[in-house]
Amino acid sequence: MSHIVTIQTEVRDVEALGLACRRLELGEPVQETVPLFSGEATGYAVRLPDWRYPVVFDVERGQVRYDNFEGRWGEPAHLNRLLQSYGVEKCRLEARRKGHSVLENQLSDGSIKLTIQIGEGHAND
């Protein structure tokens, strides 16, 4: 049986965030306070390609703070890819914790299809 799910991403898992960064060949998230144009942000900072300021994830609140000046200081697609990768990695982690395997397919529109096979261990991860 197939189910399609749409997810609004809240970043709350540092391990999944790190895996998403590795997937995209970004630096590891670093717990720090960083300057943004309009103040400071504290959390796990990720530096995206060609962004003037890092993106900061407050994993306690599930919030993300960044300043890209409506795309002039950073391409929003980079953040969207990071959030997509985080969602994929979080799903993979949770499925594995429950003893399921995950098949991943990249679709032509850029979306990612995950198929979770119940109770089949890590055979296809």
**pLDDT string in tens for the chain (125-residue length):** 556 666 677 999 999 999 999 999 999 999 999 999 989 999 999 999 999 999 999 999 999 999 989 889 999 999 999 999 999 999 999 999 999 999 999 999 988 999 998 876 554 45
Q: Which residues does 34 contact at the CB level (< 8 Å), separation at least 6?
A: 40, 41, 42, 45, 53, 54, 56
- pTM, whole model, 2 decimals? 0.85
Domain boundaries, the chain: 14-99
Q: How buried is residue 23: exposed, middle or buried, by Cβ count under 10 Å (0-12/13-18/19+)?
A: middle
